[in-house]
């Protein structure tokens, strides 16, 4: 019976560049013996002169190391897969054809990229492709940090960065482009300094502006690949649609808490983001990193995968993540791959597209121009931190309710009762509907939902604290910890 043998990249030159070879055999030993008979040059990389497996090569059947099974006598069946895992990479010289291009590498660049140049899939030809490549990064934050740093180090010739934010202390746990000395500084200035320090041979273009339907097409036009490092749904759909309209690949990544996603959306060769998610979730349903949190190392992992996909796109090598969505669970350390299909009814890349120009993405995602989720709360039901402070200073007995999670309450609190938003329906009996209630969360989103919920159930005097405890610590009591 034929068994699938997965060939690692360093050994593919000896199997005719095949990454999977089907070989007959009933045991691991028989399969690998037959493999070396079919591809004689691979023998020296698997076996030592005495015929035993080399110490730096491990063999797996499915997910099990054969050293802990029956070694080379391990039985295999038609549903099994053998993986060759070399701990030390082997290689062979390959003929390198010169690229007919005006792009040249200086002696300094040859030395800098020497570890690329000796990889057959890159070489001088591929490094020149990287040098001529132009990549636009949307965001210089958690995902943009590893993307920018690795693309700069790899020698991508032109990096464009779109961002309009400044460095905040809460960024430093994950946004490794920036350091403590950059707090309060433009992220673009900080990013430029870091990336030029990594590689002075590349060109960096910065665009200190909010990406919008008015400027996206012009910004994207001159670039080969766009990298989505955004943290909100309006911009994510905007990036997708602009890439589809211009025929650009969109290297997508997203992160939250311990989970990450990565894919490549290219409507010319597969599905787009709208094929996967035709419509955004209701406003506030999916928490942002500011509310839900994110493990600091996670964007490093997902952003590195995005950088990998960009490099593959520019080199024209390997199998891109087009039509595939990779899910990463950091807690379980598991990767899952889901197959994505192009939606023939997709409104922008389907058979009969209805979107032929960029639209109002805030409206599409149910967000008004001020960034407040619809439906907007009536002004009579809101209160500012200054107004609340004045009433407390006047001695008013204001009932304040915190609807954050207990872990957030432990970080900082105002010494008021806590009922998490998720528990509010079953604990509503703890509240007095005849009393005025001021509700707060971290930034005002969850408390607005809580206020709306209580009003629907007969509470007439409910007010939402605008900006939440974050605004309180920022404007009223800066001695409190801010998160």
CA distances from 81 to 8, 13, 65, 74, 339 (A): 13, 20, 12, 12, 20
Integer Cα distance of 140 and 148 in angstroms: 8
Task: Tell me the β-bridge partners of 327.
Answer: 261, 336
Integer Cα distance of 367 and 292 in angstroms: 19
Residues 6+ away with beta carbon under 8 Å from 195: 148, 149, 152, 159, 177, 202, 204
Which one from 289, 346, 349, 365 is the annotated catalytic residue? 289
Strands (E), 115-245: 134-138, 158-162, 203-207, 225-228
Strands (E), 232-281: 250-256, 259-265
Is 289 an annotated catalytic residue? yes
Integer Cα distance of 206 and 461 in angstroms: 48
Pairing label, strands 382-383, 334-339: unpaired
Integer Cα distance of 196 and 45 in angstroms: 40
Integer Cα distance of 382 and 404 in angstroms: 18
CB 23 within 8 A of CB 5: yes
Helices 144-154 and 298-315: crossing angle, nearest 10°?
Answer: 40
CB 312 within 8 A of CB 320: yes
Is 441 an annotated catalytic residue? yes
DSSP-derived 3-state class of residue 124: helix
Integer Cα distance of 418 and 461 in angstroms: 18
Which one from 275, 346, 365, 441 is the annotated catalytic residue? 441
Exposure b/e, 191-218, CB count within 10 A at least 16 = b? bbebbeebbebbebbbbeeebebeebee
Task: Tell me the β-bridge partners of 438.
Answer: 400, 463
Integer Cα distance of 269 and 291 in angstroms: 36
Integer Cα distance of 77 and 440 in angstroms: 61
Which residues participate in catalysis according to the annotation?
Answer: 289, 441
């Amino acid at each position: 019976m034929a068994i699938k043998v997965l060939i690692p990249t360093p050994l593919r030159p000896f199997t005719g560049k095949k990454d999977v070879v089907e070989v007959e055999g009933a045991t691991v030993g028989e399969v690998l013996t037959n493999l070396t008979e079919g591809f004689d040059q691979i023998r020296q990389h698997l076996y030592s002169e005495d015929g035993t497996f080399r110490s730096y090569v491990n063999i797996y059947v499915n997910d099990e190391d054969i050293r802990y099974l029956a070694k080379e006598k391990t039985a295999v069946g038609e549903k099994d897969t053998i993986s060759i895992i070399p701990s030390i990479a082997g290689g062979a010289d390959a003929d390198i054809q010169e690229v007919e291009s005006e792009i040249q590498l200086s002696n300094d660049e040859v030395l800098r990229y020497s570890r690329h140049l000796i990889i057959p899939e890159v070489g001088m030809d591929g490094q020149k492709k990287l040098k001529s490549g132009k990549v636009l990064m949307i965001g210089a934050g958690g995902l943009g940090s590893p993307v920018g740093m690795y693309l700069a180090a790899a020698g991508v010739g032109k990096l464009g960065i779109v961002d309009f934010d400044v460095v905040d202390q809460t960024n430093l746990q994950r946004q490794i482009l920036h350091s403590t000395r950059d707090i309060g500084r433009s992220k673009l200035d900080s990013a430029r300094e870091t990336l030029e320090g990594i590689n002075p041979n590349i060109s960096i273009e910065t665009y200190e502006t909010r990406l919008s339907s008015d400027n996206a097409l012009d910004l994207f036009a001159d670039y080969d690949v766009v990298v989505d490092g955004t943290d909100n749904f309006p911009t994510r759909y905007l990036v997708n649609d602009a890439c589809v309209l211009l025929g650009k690949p969109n290297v997508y990544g997203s992160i939250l808490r311990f989970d990450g996603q990565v894919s490549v959306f290219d409507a010319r060769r597969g599905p787009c983001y709208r094929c996967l998610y035709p419509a955004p979730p209701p406003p506030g349903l999916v928490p942002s990193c500011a509310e839900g949190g994110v493990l600091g190392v996670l964007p490093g992992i997902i952003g590195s995968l995005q950088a990998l996909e960009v490099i593959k796109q520019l080199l024209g090598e390997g199998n891109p993540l087009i039509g595939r969505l990779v899910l990463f669970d950091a807690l379980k350390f598991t990767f899952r791959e889901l197959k994505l299909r192009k939606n023939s009814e997709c409104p922008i890349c389907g058979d009969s597209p209805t979107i032929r120009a960029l639209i109002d993405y805030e409206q599409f995602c149910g967000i008004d121009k001020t960034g407040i989720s619809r439906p907007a709360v009536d002004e009579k039901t809101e209160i500012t931190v200054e107004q609340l402070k004045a009433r407390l200073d006047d001695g008013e007995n204001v009932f304040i309710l915190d609807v954050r999670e207990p872990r957030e309450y432990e970080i900082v609190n105002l010494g008021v009762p806590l009922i998490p938003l998720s528990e509010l329906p079953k604990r509503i009996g703890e509240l007095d509907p005849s009393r005025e209630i001021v509700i707060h969360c971290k930034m005002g989103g969850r408390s607005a939902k809580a206020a709306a919920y209580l009003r629907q159930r007969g509470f007439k005097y409910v007010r939402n604290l605008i900006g939440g405890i974050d605004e309180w610590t920022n404007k009223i009591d800066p001695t409190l910890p801010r998160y």
